[in-house]
């Protein structure tokens, strides 16, 4: 599913996206973490408290320990290249089918220049007219979130192997709720998405 809109404030966009996620049975939500996405992330996680969010693992500063942070971070060209490479490979293998002509067009507009991946039309336009090829990033993040989540569903990690939560514990109740959400249709309908404030 592709949802694009131009000129909407990030807080309102976050509210619409949360509505769509609820309508899609609490879909896992991922986004590109950047300075611009701060208000979006705050609305999702702190104001609306939507909890089914993609987290990446990052090293803690000055430590070998890892911590989890929300969203995919595009900190260097290697990150973008890796994201695009995984998405292109999934398309080539038939795991990821693109149905958006605008997305395909934007994918063809990225080029390597001086060791960096750039969106060529953005470079060639005046600063007043911006076109960042955001569909490509969003599609790459969508594939990343989907592929990592589906791998997590199929493979037992060493922490989870043989773990049976005690009846009535928080973990037991959480797993019961997850099963119920996946098995039944959503109680949240499209009308709720349109009326969400």
For residue 113, the model assigns a pLDDT of 83
For residue 161, the model assigns a pLDDT of 44
Q: Where are the alpha helices (DSSP H) in the chain?
A: 10-23, 38-42, 77-92, 101-107, 120-124, 134-154, 170-183, 190-195
Residues above pLDDT 90, as percent of the chain: 26
For residue 152, the model assigns a pLDDT of 57
Instruction: Supply angle C-alpha 187, 189, 190, rounded to 5.
Output: 170
Instruction: Please answer whether residues 70 and 38 qualify as being in contact, where contact means their C-beta atoms are separated by less than 8 angstroms.
Output: no
pTM of the predicted model over 0.75: no
Distance CA 21, CA 51 (A): 11
């Amino acid at each position: 599913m592709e949802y694009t809109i131009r000129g909407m404030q990030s807080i309102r966009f976050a509210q619409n996206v949360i509505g769509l996620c609820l309508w899609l049975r609490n879909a896992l939500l991922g986004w590109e973490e950047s300075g611009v996405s701060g208000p979006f992330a705050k609305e999702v996680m702190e104001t609306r408290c939507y909890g089914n969010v993609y987290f990446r693992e990052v090293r803690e500063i000055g430590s070998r320990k890892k911590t989890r942070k929300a969203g995919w971070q595009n900190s260097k060209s290697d990150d973008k290249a890796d994201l695009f490479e995984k998405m292109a490979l999934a398309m080539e293998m038939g795991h990821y089918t693109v149905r958006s002509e605008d997305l395909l067009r934007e994918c063809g507009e990225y080029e390597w220049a001086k060791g960096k991946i750039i969106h060529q039309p953005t470079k060639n336009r005046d600063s007043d007219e911006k076109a960042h090829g955001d569909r490509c990033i969003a599609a790459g993040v969508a594939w990343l979130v989907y592929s990592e989540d589906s791998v997590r569903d199929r493979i037992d990690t060493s922490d989870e192997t043989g773990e049976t939560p005690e009846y009535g514990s928080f973990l037991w109740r959480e797993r019961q709720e997850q099963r119920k959400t996946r098995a039944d249709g959503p109680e949240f309908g499209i009308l709720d998405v349109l009326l969400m404030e």
